[in-house]
Structure 1
Amino acid sequence: MSSNDDRDPLFRYDDPIFADERLLEITHLPGPDRIVGRDEQMQRVADALNPAVFGSEPNHLFIFGKTGTGKSLISRSVTQRVITEAGRDDVTVKYAFIDCGEQNTEASVVKTIAQIVNEPENSGVTVPDRGLGTGDYYKRLWQTIDHCTDVTIVILDEIDMLEDDEILRKLSRAGENRRISDASIGIIGISNKIDFPDHLSERVKSSLSRDELVFSPYDANQLVEILEKRQDAFHDSVLEDDVIPLTSALAAQEHGDARKAIDILRNAGRLAKKQNDARVTAENVREAKEKTEADRFNELIEGSPQQAKAILYALTVLTQNSSEKEFPTKIIYNQYKELARRLDFDILSERRVQEILQEQNFLNVIQSERTGRGRGRGAHAKHRLLENPSIVEKVLLRDSRLALLEEGADTETQQTRPGR
């Protein structure tokens, strides 16, 4: 074992700010004593899953609420407690947590559930990453569930991102259709779109009986308590007294997003460490808020085509130069055409721009609503940014092609304003 003197001087081996930064990671699952303001919701989830403790089929459940209201956290926490309690009576419960924003096809979801649940020595099958059709993946899924569990709980986070809801029908009817005989399946679907069930196919609506639960946003006091229960991520006395109240207040302004509050606090600590500060200050928090918002928006648009970014930039320009916050497709299209000419892009049709705006709405990058024009005049869509336009602009201009717009942007925005 090497001595401290042998350590590479390129790296630092102490952390003056964080005692355990992992407590601030999104993937961290806190113990029940650290969960705040969700007793009623925890009980409702527990009621739905309770039959699994005895090896019986749990009730399916849809959970709705805005981002950062604890939907995924409570689902995972209660499910873990079900697994523990069932194990006391030798009942095997497993769960698969699927982020449908990343895995949104029927085949990828089926494959991932099977890989998580599978124990090849018990099921007699393997589940390869590729090389099988969807039907073959289903066959292996049924075999792994039957041989490796008594109950499988499938948590589908951002369930509204699924390309096809057929998987819901097949999972919910697996026992009835005798795909599995020695086990049962429970589904928890999580979404921030409360109208998601309205868009399910009729076949799924008729087969998927479920309970529904809505999570309300956290208030500022609850956010303070959530952050206080994670302040042991930092060394003692590192956080200045106003850091947690300010972080909570900033997050409470935006529908009580606990996830964002935790992200801001973590980024504030990282900024303090980067600047070699001895303590985390309110100024670190304010800087961290902007970084957190930019990082989140960047994740949303990462991989988007440049044409889509140009359309978003057009909406940003309009928002920055008007007291209005919502704009019809036609106005956005006119602004986009001006930007496309400056960037030497092929100009898309207005119909295609409308489709891209709807795609961005689906991805929660923007919000689109259809409004009536009056009797006999049909309806049109209006679109608005969900993020601060200055943050959106900063992130979009990271694209080297769009960065060409930065020079002379003031002149360009004066030329095209809403209504022209």
Structure 2
Amino acid sequence: MTAQDGPTANASALGDAFSAHGRVFSNKELLNVGYVPNPSAIVARNDEIRRLATALNPAITGDNPSNAFLYGKTGTGKSLCARYATNRIAEAAADNDVSVGKAHIDCSQENTETRAVRATVRALNDPDETGITVPETGYGRSRYYSLLWEVLDDRFDVAFVVLDEIDCLDGADYLMQLSRATEAKKLRHCSVGIVGISNKIKYRDRLDERVKSSLQERELVFTPYDSDALREIIRSRLDAFDEGILTDEAVAECASLAAEEHGDARKAINLLRHTGELAASEGADTITVDHVHRAKNLAEQDRVGALLVGATAQQKATLLAVVSLALVEKTRTFKTSEVYSAYEDICAEAGLEVLSNRRVHDLLREWEFLEVLEIERTGGGRAQGSYLQHRLLEDPSVIRSVFDRSDRFAGIGFTAGNVTTTWSNI
């Protein structure tokens, strides 16, 4: 080992990573995913808030509120608006001596009926007031329901149960129980309003007709933010940075990129945070458009890399088939037959067993669940029937760069449009 390869050289090479960077952030907390902004920072959602408040408004006088379901892609402000509207309704009700309870349940975690009802009663209960203890384990579902009805009647005139990511909830029995509690005489005087939140706009189609009839919910669709709205959202977080370090051009570029790709406020703010971190690591005096572009690429590579780490070889092969087509055909939407043909070529090159069409379809659905793909059925016109279209939501060049670091799939060739190609000549 030479002196250059020794501990001193290693310390020198790593020194920048462990030394204090130049000042960029003054309050980085404002860029955290879990940060809930001040109501004044809610941008471009006045109409949705007004419609939701109208549905919930009867609670102000102690009457039955309407149920409401909020649909829209991730990062479009659904949860934020639900929290804001239920808080405002509860405050207005208090002025009328009406007690309103609020439970916000994450159905991606509390994804069974028992877990959901347990989480709800725990969120609404105050042991000091009710004398009721709700354990994490040890009770059956019916016992948790009994406790829920008891807590609701003891403490509240009206209660809002906000079910975030409601499409993750296994079955709809919980919705039936909540929506029919008064009719079934489970509750003596408390009314329950359900606010369901989902990024699956067709979630309602999965519900039993009895549930739909019982809910009678109002539906609100949250469209993706445009660049103007995203620019305002980003500007509402400017206090996260030292004064003068974030240029107007960088703000506009963050908003433009986010609006062009997804209209997701969370991702726009995430990009802003990654950009600031990159600028800080380089000791930059200002954050520029170049920082934005480089941070975007690095963040996307990290995110795609994290998805691929846990993926099987067959899962990777199906995704690589779509990416292959996107890079060659310069579009991002393909029929199942096109994807399967590219998948067969990749399996041949990688030495993988070729799975059936049905199994490949299942694997593609898994990428849809992870929001890497979007799959929808469409008509092919007269005499052509319907078929599935698979649209790649991620930048194919970013996914390719991650695959390039994979021993098994680096340099894999494939066929698309009767042209055989490889990564090296894309």
TM-score range, shorter chain: 0.7 to 0.9
User: Does residue 371 of structure 2 align to residue 364 of structure 1?
Assistant: yes
Distance across 1 between alignment mates of 2:357 and 2:76: 37
Q: Which residue of 2 aligns with 1:267?
A: 274
Change (3 A) 1:92 1:24: farther
Q: How far does residue 386 in structure 1 lie from its aligned partner after superposition?
A: 1.2
SS of structure 1 residue aligned to 2:70 = strand
Q: Which residue of 2 aligns with 1:223?
A: 230
Distance across 1 between alignment mates of 2:139 and 2:198: 29
Change (3 A) 1:289 1:150: farther
SS of structure 1 residue aligned to 2:266 = helix
Question: Percentage identity across aligned positions?
Answer: 42
Distance across 2 between alignment mates of 1:139 and 1:297: 45
Instruction: Tell me if the contact between 1:366 and 1:385 (Cα under 8 Å) persists in the aligned partners.
Output: yes
Q: How far does residue 219 in structure 1 lie from its aligned partner after superposition?
A: 2.5
TM-score, normalisation: structure 1: 0.84
Which residues of structure 2 form unaligned runs of 5+? Answer: 1-16, 420-426
Query: Which structure has the larger Rg over C-alpha atoms?
Result: 2
Instruction: Tell me if the contact between 1:29 and 1:77 (Cα under 8 Å) persists in the aligned partners.
Output: no
Q: Which residue of 2 aligns with 1:49?
A: 56
Q: Which residue of 2 aligns with 1:6?
A: none
Alignment of 1:197-276 (within 5 A): 197-276=204-283
Q: Which residue of 1 aligns with 2:128?
A: 121
SS of structure 2 residue aligned to 1:52 = helix
Change (3 A) 1:102 1:245: same
Distance across 2 between alignment mates of 1:15 and 1:54: 55
Amino acid in structure 1 at the alignment position of 2:408: L
Alignment of 1:297-376 (within 5 A): 303-340=310-347, 345-372=352-379
**CA displacement, residues 288-345 of structure 1 (integer Å, 9 cap, x when unaligned):** 2234444555677775555333322222222222234333333323433444455555
Q: Which residue of 1 aligns with 2:166?
A: 159
Distance across 2 between alignment mates of 1:151 and 1:323: 54
Amino acid in structure 1 at the alignment position of 2:325: L
Q: Which residue of 2 aligns with 1:404?
A: 407
Change (3 A) 1:17 1:321: same
User: Does residue 100 of structure 2 align to residue 93 of structure 1?
Assistant: yes
Q: Which residue of 2 aligns with 1:3?
A: none
Q: How far does residue 15 in structure 1 lie from its aligned partner after superposition?
A: 7.5
SS of structure 2 residue aligned to 1:383 = strand
Which residues of structure 1 form unaligned runs of 5+? Answer: 1-9
Amino acid in structure 2 at the alignment position of 1:43: R
**CA displacement, residues 229-274 of structure 1 (integer Å, 9 cap, x when unaligned):** 2211112112123121111111221253222221211221122222
TM-score, normalisation: structure 2: 0.83
Q: How far does residue 207 in structure 1 lie from its aligned partner after superposition?
A: 0.8
Change (3 A) 1:296 1:209: farther
**CA displacement, residues 383-410 of structure 1 (integer Å, 9 cap, x when unaligned):** 1211111233445677xxxx2234323x
Change (3 A) 1:298 1:204: farther
Distance across 2 between alignment mates of 1:95 and 1:17: 38
Backbone CA RMSD of aligned residues: 3.0
Instruction: Tell me if the contact between 1:57 and 1:186 (Cα under 8 Å) persists in the aligned partners.
Output: yes
Distance across 2 between alignment mates of 1:350 and 1:235: 54
Alignment of 1:62-211 (within 5 A): 62-211=69-218
Q: How far does residue 374 in structure 1 lie from its aligned partner after superposition?
A: 6.1
Change (3 A) 1:304 1:115: farther
Distance across 1 between alignment mates of 2:49 and 2:232: 17
Distance across 2 between alignment mates of 1:62 and 1:364: 21
Q: How far does residue 123 in structure 1 lie from its aligned partner after superposition?
A: 4.0
Instruction: Tell me if the contact between 2:21 and 2:283 (Cα under 8 Å) persists in the aligned partners.
Output: no
